[in-house]
Amino acid sequence: MSDEIDRDTHDHDLTYENEQSTVTIPLKEYDKLRGRQQFITDKSLISVIDKIEELVRALRKHIVRTDFD
C-alpha cells in the first residue's frame, strides 16, 4: 500500500515539473507579436463585428436629420 501512495505522489509531482520553465523567442518575432496586438484576429469576434456593422447600416436608413434652429 505504501508503494502505491509513493507512486501517486511521484506522478502528482511530475505534473508540476515544467511549471518553472520559460519560453525564449527571438526579439524580431516578439516585436511582430506585439504589433499584432493592435488587431482583432479572432474569427468569431470578427463575425460579431460584421453583424453589428450590418445592423448599424440598416438603422442608418431610418435616421432623419432635421434642423430646428
pLDDT for 67: 79
| CA atoms of 45 and 41, how far apart (whole Å) | 8
pLDDT for 27: 94
Of 43, 41, 63, which is closest to residue 51 (Cα–Cα)? 43
pLDDT in tens, the chain (69 residues): 455 556 677 777 776 666 667 889 999 999 999 998 999 999 999 999 999 999 999 999 999 888 776
pLDDT for 53: 97
pLDDT for 7: 66
Asked if residue 49 lies in contact with residue 40, where contact means CB atoms within 8 angstroms, the answer is: yes
| CA atoms of 62 and 57, how far apart (whole Å) | 9
Going from N- to C-terminal start, the domains of the chain cover 2-60
pLDDT for 4: 55
Of 17, 35, 15, 19, which is closest to residue 27 (Cα–Cα)? 35
